[in-house]
Structure 1
Amino acid sequence: MSRFYIKSIGASGPKVEYSQVTFDEGVNILHGPSNSGKSYVINCINFMFGASEVPFTRESTGYNTIHMTLESLDARTVQMTRRIIDDKNGKKSDMGDNLVTVVSNFDEVGSYDYSILKLEYSDMLLKLMGIDERHQIISTQAFVQQNLTNRSFLHSYFIDEDNIYEKIPAFDIPRHSKITACLTALHFLFTGEDLHEIVPAESKKDRELKEAKKNAVIIYINEKIQDLSKKRGILEEELAKVEDTDVESKIEATLEEIESIEHQIYEATEQSHKLMEEIFTVNSKLEEATYLNERYKALRTQYNSDVKRLRFIIDGETKDSQRKKVVKCPFCDSSMQNKPEQRIAYAQASQVELNRITMQLGDLKEAEKDIQQEICALEAQLQELNRQNNEITQMISRVLKPKSAQLRVMMESYKRIVQIKREMSAVDAMSVVLNADAFNREMEKEGEKVVFHPMEHIDMNWWKKWSDTFEMIVKECNYPNCVSARISPDTYDAIVNGKHKSDEGKGYRAFLNSIILFSLMKALEDGGIYRPAMLILDSPILTLKEKVRKNELADPGMRASLFKYMVENCGDNQIIIAENEIPNTVDYNTAHLIEFTQDETQGIYGFLKSVRNSVDS
């Protein structure tokens, strides 16, 4: 079935202006200063996915109803509305209504009120993913089972600003004592299997001894990988000192020249586009002038015909009036002269008409002269514009593009000069071997035991694919001195260069947590049976504005690389990111940017139109 994505999030209330943010099916980035409403949007999404926490209070905002529209790629829609109501436990606070009103044109989803507590609403959301029946998953090591709901795996694709930098696995439910349910929920998404019939076989004592031995070996391997990572950093510093500076300068100069040529091509192309617009305009004017000239010619022919006709009438009447006709008086039979008064009047009227047409004919000749001059001027202008445009297009095709291609060939030859030293290659190769050894040991399945350990039964094929995807993205995003990275089946979390994520600073943890969920989304896209097909991140690149110590921040190059990678590799998924400041070196042409300005005079002030900075969040 066609995947659904979040089309819009809105909020309304009795005395406030309706507020709404719309999203595209691909990458969406909410950005702007703190307290502008970005987190409100993220919290509203969480609220509409069944969270008990309200996104904001009615007292502080005036808004009491949240709206969310899901739309499929084949244009089917499901509209959900949920109210913020009084806490029914007697506390003077707000809570989310148990009922969600749904209006749908999707045949499999009826339009009525769904209960959250009875799991009706969760079942409806799962149905949109293709999960038609209710399943139970193993939730504890004691084999306790619980219903699979949309919130069982919500944190595999949703993480807010309060949890983006947490030390626990990114997909784990915050403040939840056990991760078992999250793991079995992920396994279900990948395989469609809920593992409800698994029976443990290995004793607890044997398992603990085996675990202790395995952990000791893994700790030793991780220490070696950390040593290799430090050695690689030293080698890179040495390489920078002895590197051919002439080659580097040539590379830099060539890059600048390529940039200059590409800029010239861009400006020339823009100039050609403007000339084509002028040519189109002049052509239109020329066609109008030519048509008017033809109309003038036809009118002149008509006027000449009218002049000939009138002159013929006047001449005839003049000659006829000069003849004297003798008429006899009917009473005395004497001779009388006939005076044709009507004929004289007719000749005078014809003369007046002739004078008028003669005057109009003179005016017409002047108009023809003017329009012919305009036609000549337009033809000359058109010829000049075509000449200029031809010169530009020839310059692009014969000069600029060949030069650009030549420079790129030179760049490739310069790049080949820069080589990795043998010792650095040996370090990388050894790191790969050690990382694979540690990964394989972490993947080793244990024997039967009296407690349920999810990694004994989870399909390691999809976990390995996820881990490999994670390592690739970490390296692509310029993690410092990265020689290895994996999602450990033992800790269920990231280990980079043998160092656990939990030992990193907040900025690095936010960076890694974002990649963990992004790589999970891509792994599900590649081989999952069911998938949410979306990723929602709040503040993936922490800045100093989030009150993070400077030494804990991810490198600016890493942050820009992360944004660039997510924009370029979204795939068949929806991504919604909320961030204060976004890297300005990334091309966002394929992304949908939504900026909250907190400025009354420009852009969108914030999410809630009736709320200002004093309470907006």
Structure 2
Amino acid sequence: MNEMGFYIKKLMVTGKNVENAIVTFETGLNIISGPSDTGKSYIFECVNYMLGAKDVPKKIDESKGYSSILMEIVLYSGKSYTLKREFGKNTIEVYDSPTLSIKNNIPEILNYKHDKQKTDNLSAFLLQKSGFIHPTSVLKKKNGELRTLSFRDLPIFITINESKIIKDKSPILSGQFVSVTVEKSVFKLIVSGIDDKKNDDIIENDNGSKAKLEGQKELLDRLIHEEEKYLFNFPSADIFLEIDMEDKFKELQVELRSINNEIKEQTFIKRNLWSEIEEKKSKYIAVSELIKRFHLLEEQYNSDLKRLIFVKEGDHYFSQLNFSVCPYCNQKVDGSHETECIGEENEVNITESIEAEINKINIQLKDLESTILETELEHSELLIDIERQQEEYEIINDSIVNTLEPRETNIRDIIDNYISQRDMLADYNSTNERITDLINEKEIVLEKLRKQPEKKNINTNENEGLILSAYNEFCKYMSNILKRWKFSKEPTVIFDEGKFYVNNKLSNDYGKGYRAIIYSAFAISLMEYCKDNNFPHPGFVVLDSPLTTYQGKKEKEDDEVENDIQAAFFKDLSSRGHKMQIIILENKEPNDKVKDKINYIEFTKDKSFGRYGFFGITE
């Protein structure tokens, strides 16, 4: 692997009377994660500004008082440099030393604007450190007009912000119509190493050259082989012929609806039964309490009867006493005392009152006994009703849980299986159609080759062949990384006329979450490709929010989560070599195993825990 390029070692924002905001990076994978508004996007803007961007990082409350940025870079050959740029200035100071030693060095002053003739500018400096020869020519217009390569042509490949990463354009295009030709030319230069100045006799629209046709034939042969290989893994086509899928599918749907309706009805009955049972249980408790109170009242009545009978019978014993003291007047009782003390009329009234009270209590007691009997009967009937309804409830619940729901689950499984087979059949037919189309297209190319006259410019044809071969080789790199990320079982990538097709689908047509994954794979694959093939490349990639918009599988079990793109993405990038650098700014975070292997920085946005953000906490 080559030693061209560099990595970012340190980023520091400074100012007067403020604490330096510093973040340190390493080779390999670096992840800065944390909630929104912790400075992740500000870090990205600072890096972009130090690489020659015109726009100053957006002003935020936390950046007040800061006036300049320092960025330490280290060449993969070992040499360190420090770049310093003040906000709003068009010049950059370059120190031939690490950040800690710049006070002892005199800087070289570079202009931030690219100059095709001079080297005293940031673009020429960074291009040279990335392995490019300055000046290098790229095609500006289709008529053959050239211009020199600028380092600002490269951010589309190395620093991808959160809006660019989900754009619905090809990864090599910015979306500006006037820049399409030059952006295609820059990508061609990076993957093939062919300078347009050495090849300025190539006409961009010459689609009929023999070398290009040979390249198209080679690409078609590879695509046909891949499609046939994919078709080979299908079950026998006879399986599909035995299944009348649509009719069976409709029957299953009717049966499923019937079971669902029955489950709803039984559930409704069960819910009503439950309500009735709970209502009767409440009433049962109230009646039980009422019976207890009735028995207490019965005891009280019996107690009153005993007391009155005792008083009545006590009169008999009281009259037989020879000596006693009157309870009314406290005088000695003799034969005539009773009449003298309470009078004859009062004596009769007391006796009658006792008799009347006894009769009254007996009547009340009889009524109470009747009421107790009726209440206890109601109590028993409630208990019988509760037990009967509970038994009915259990029968219905058992029917739902052990009969209807298993039947529903079974039918759903069968339906899912039929859907899977239907999709498989559609995929099988679609694959056969693609193979037929590719073979037809190959025949057209072969016919053109048979009619192709010999070209006088042999060098031009050779270059075109080399470029097509380079495109195809890069696509293999991108396919491999998407496979490692579990994008699909056997992902295929095709590059044609500035557009990328992933699994025969235009990359623009994917949802934004998958577009971010594809763009990330493109940028990292390009860096790996250049390193492996000894082509110039800055040597680092910065991705802002590559996973934020991606919605992975619902987490159920650890082994299932491992199959998701997000987990595979972090796991694969954590094993990248140390001759390249990947910096990811992301809301999502990897698992602990990945964190232990990489340079992981977490912004917590919590004043009491960890690092709050890029800047310190301001009161």
Q: What is the TM-score normalised by the length of structure 2?
A: 0.54
Per the TM alignment, residue 80 of structure 1 is displaced from its structure 2 partner at its CA by 0.7
Say yes or no: does 1:486 pair with 2:486: no
SS of 1:56's partner is coil
2-structure distance, mates of 1:428, 1:170: 27
Cα distance in 2 for partners of 1:611, 1:193 equals 52
Equivalent positions of 1:541-552 (< 5 A) are 541-543=547-549
SS of equivalent residue, structure 1 residue 67 = strand
**Correspondence for 1:72:** 75
Q: Is the 8 A contact 2:42 2:57 kept in 1?
A: yes
Q: 1:243-273: per-residue Cα shift (whole Å, max 9, x none)?
A: xxxxxxxxxxxxxxxxxxxxxxxxxxxxxxx
Select which of 539, 552, 559 maps to 1:533.
539
**Corresponding letter in the other structure for 1:113:** I
User: Judging changes above 3 Å, is the alpha-carbon distance between structure 1 residues 438 and 31 closer, same or farther for their aligned structure 2 residues?
Assistant: farther
Q: Is the partner of 2:473 in helix, strand or coil?
A: helix
The equivalent position to 1:13 in structure 2, one of 15, 23, 36, is 15
Show the counterpart of 1:116. Answer: 112
CA distance in 2, matches of 1:40, 1:464: 37
**Counterpart AA for 1:477:** W
- How far is 1:555 from its partner? 11
- Distance (Å, rounded) in 2 between the aligned partners of 1:44 and 1:434: 52
* Equivalences for residues 299-378 of structure 1 within 5 A: none
Aligned partner of 1:31 in structure 2 is 33
Question: Could you tell me which residue of structure 2 aligns to residue 131 of structure 1?
Answer: 132
1:532-611 matched pairs, under 5 angstroms: 532-543=538-549, 557-570=564-577, 572-584=579-591, 587-609=594-616
Question: Given the superposition, is the C-alpha separation of residues 571 and 461 from structure 1 closer, same or farther in structure 2, using an over 3 Å criterion?
Answer: farther
Alpha-carbon RMSD across the aligned residues, in angstroms, is 4.8
Cα distance between partner residues in 1 of 2:76 and 2:27: 8
- Counterpart-to-counterpart distance in 1, 2:87 and 2:151: 21
Cα drift, residue 100 of structure 1: 0.5
- Partner Cα separation in structure 2 for residue 579 and residue 146 of structure 1: 36
Partner of 1:101: 93
Secondary structure of the structure 2 residue equivalent to 1:164 = helix
Residues in 1 aligned to 2:58 and 2:91: alpha-carbon distance in whole angstroms: 18
Q: What is the Cα deviation at residue 520 of structure 1? A: 1.2
Q: Is the 8 A contact 2:548 2:588 kept in 1?
A: no
2:475 corresponds, among 463, 467, 470, to: 467
Q: Secondary structure at the match of 2:566?
A: helix
Aligned partner of residue 488 in structure 1, secondary structure: strand
Q: Which amino acid aligns with 2:479?
A: E
Q: Which runs of 5+ in 2 are unaligned?
A: 99-104, 116-120, 241-423, 553-560
Distance 1:544 1:470 in 2: 19
Query: What is the SS of the residue equivalent to 2:475?
Result: helix
Per-residue deviation, residues 186-239 of structure 1 (Å, max 9, x unmatched): 3333444311242245878989xx99xx9xx99xx99x979x89x96999x99x
CA distance in 2, matches of 1:233, 1:605: 56
Provide the residue aligned with 1:370 in structure 2: none
Aligned partner of 1:258 in structure 2 is: none
The equivalent of 2:525 in structure 1 is: 519
- How much has 1:124 moved relative to structure 2? 0.7
Change (3 A) 1:462 1:429: same
Measure how far apart 1:118 and its partner are. 4.7
- Maintained 8 Å contact 1:30/1:593: yes
Q: Secondary structure at the match of 2:481?
A: helix
| 1:37-88: CA deviation from partner (whole Å, max 9, x where unpaired) | 1111111111111111222227772122111110124542111111112xxx
Query: How far has the Cα of 1:136 moved from its partner?
Result: 2.1
**Runs (4+) off by over 6 Å:** 202-207, 231-235, 422-448
Encode CA deviations 1:92-117: one digit per residue, 9 max, x unaligned.
xxxxx2101111149xx993110122
- Asked whether the 8 Å contact 2:27–2:578 carries over to 1, the reply is no
Which protein has the larger Cα radius of gyration, Structure 1 or Structure 2?
2
Question: Corresponding residue for 2:314?
Answer: none
CA distance in 1, matches of 2:567, 2:175: 28
State the secondary structure of the residue aligned to 2:142.
coil
The answer to whether the 8 A contact 1:225-1:434 is kept is: no
| Distance in 2 between residues matched to 1:55 and 1:233, nearest whole Å | 57
* Count of aligned pairs: 394
Alignment of 1:135-214 (within 5 A): 135-173=136-174, 175=176, 177-196=178-197, 197-200=199-202
Aligned 8 A contact 2:170 2:508 in 1? no
Distance 1:487 1:156, change over 3 A: farther
State how far apart, in whole Å, the 2-side matches of 1:440 and 1:591 are.
47
CA distance in 1, matches of 2:87, 2:439: 52
In the TM superposition, residue 529 of structure 1 has moved relative to its aligned partner by 2.4
Aligned to 1:84: 87
Give the Cα–Cα distance (whole angstroms) in 2 for the partners of residues 128 and 464 of structure 1: 27
2:504 corresponds to: 498
**Aligned equivalents of 1:143 and 1:517: distance in 2?**
28
Q: Which consecutive residues of structure 1, in runs of 5 or more, have no partner in the other structure?
A: 86-96, 239-421, 547-553, 613-617
Query: If the length of structure 1 is used for normalisation, what is the TM-score?
Result: 0.55
Residues 39 and 442 from structure 1, CA distance in 2 versus in 1: closer, same or farther, beyond 3 angstroms?
farther
Asked whether the equivalents of residues 541 and 559 of structure 1 are also in contact (C-alpha less than 8 Å), the reply is yes
How far, CA to CA, are the matches of 1:135 and 1:69 in structure 2? Answer: 26
Q: CA deviation at 1:501?
A: 1.4
Decide whether aligned partners of structure 1 residues 58 and 441 sit closer, same or farther in structure 2, where only a CA change above 3 A counts: farther
Deviation (angstroms), 1:153: 2.1
Q: Deviations over 1:290-332 (max 9, x none)?
A: xxxxxxxxxxxxxxxxxxxxxxxxxxxxxxxxxxxxxxxxxxx
Name the CA shift for 1:534/1:543 in 2 (closer, same or farther; >3 Å).
same
Relative to structure 1, is the Cα distance of residues 201 and 136 closer, same or farther in structure 2, using a 3 angstrom cutoff? closer
Q: Per the alignment, do residues 585 and 23 of structure 1 end up closer, same or farther by CA in structure 2, a change over 3 Å counting? A: closer
